[in-house]
Amino acid sequence: MEGAKKMKRIGVLTSGGDAPGMNAIIRAVARTAMHFGIECVGIRRGYAGLINSDFVMLETNMVRHILGRGGTILYTARCDEFMTEKGREKAVATCKMLGLDGIVAVGGDGTFKGALELSRLGVPVMGIPATIDNDIGCSNYTIGFDSACNTAIDCIDKLRDTMQSHERCSVVEVMGRHAGFLALYVGIAVGATSVLIPEHPVDFEQDIVQRIQNSRLAGVTHFMIVVAEGAGSAFEIARKIKETVGIDPRVTVLGHIQRGGAPTGRDRETATRMGYYAVRAFAEGRSGNVIATREGGIVEIPIEEALTMKKHLQMDRYEILEAIAASGAIHKN
């Protein structure tokens, strides 16, 4: 943008829950900054690092060979102090002390709320969505989702082998406190008997008991129930299955294993594109936006608007799951 202030130095931070692909974003931000003649500073431990002046210069050697690493080399943390006026003042003071002309904030809605506060205090910001839940309303896709799905699928495939060998029922809890994107995607991919998600009221008799009974009558001897953590406790569901159906399920809570591991090709490529576009926006004089994906392309959406947008689960996928699961449990006399 003609007449825009030239960026000399920017910072990048990762905040909230970690997601595979965050390192790919950091690498892309640092290298794109070098391309535009901008210095790049890594802020460690999210907004806490911005308050406490915890940083490192991101030079070429620092970001070499991190593209395929899980986690985040800048670490991540939640910061209650940043939610206070005094905390934000400290963060702005650090930006001034380091001579930062802008901040790239990587994370979810909480991260973007923090970025919006910085923007209101005069710090140029750009946000990049990275969360395995894929629940950021403004973006079709968030970094880490594909990797987390593949990790869960791999784990469940291994569980299925032993469940089939012992003719048992497995109840697997995956992440998704408020959103069922991960559970539903994984459930379809592993051919689950049933998937429980926060967006769909659970009818225990119809969604679980009848599915198991019909499958057993059709000759199936092992069953896989996938539960999003926000849809109920896997242990409680297993207890009810034992009481109602008379089989003894095994519970597996995948937990934080879904956040770890090397990012998939999709996450590496999308993260790299998002990181590039965030820095290019700064170089061209734009800020205050979230880098989002729409119909395969990259777009910029004002942070304030992005935070009001909601993403709804595509319930046709749930209908597909029900149809496929039911057809596999048809009992023929």
Domains of the chain (ranges; CATH) run 9-144+263-306 (3.40.50.450), 148-259 (3.40.50.460)
Tell me what pLDDT residue 105 has. Answer: 98
Tell me what pLDDT residue 321 has. Answer: 84
Concatenated DSSP letters for 131-174? -TT---TT-S--BTHHHHHHHHHHHHHHHHHHHHHHT-EEEEEE
What does the alpha-carbon distance between residue 117 and residue 101 come to, in Å, rounded to a whole number? Answer: 16
Per-10-residue mean pLDDT, the chain, length 333:
71 96 98 97 97 95 95 93 95 97 97 97 98 95 97 94 83 93 95 92 89 85 92 94 92 94 97 98 97 94 97 85 71 47
Record the tokens describing residue 79, joined without a space. 């910061």
Record the tokens describing residue 70, joined without a space. 């899980």
Tell me what pLDDT residue 295 has. Answer: 87
Record the tokens describing residue 82, joined without a space. 């940043």
Record the tokens describing residue 291, joined without a space. 């880098």
Tell me what pLDDT residue 265 has. Answer: 97
Tell me what pLDDT residue 318 has. Answer: 82
Asked whether the beta carbons of 303 and 290 are under 8 A apart, the reply is yes
Tell me what pLDDT residue 333 has. Answer: 42
Positions annotated as catalytic residues are: 133
Q: Which residues lie below 8 Å from residue 267, measured CB to CB, with a gap of 6+?
A: 20, 21, 24, 143, 144, 145, 146, 147
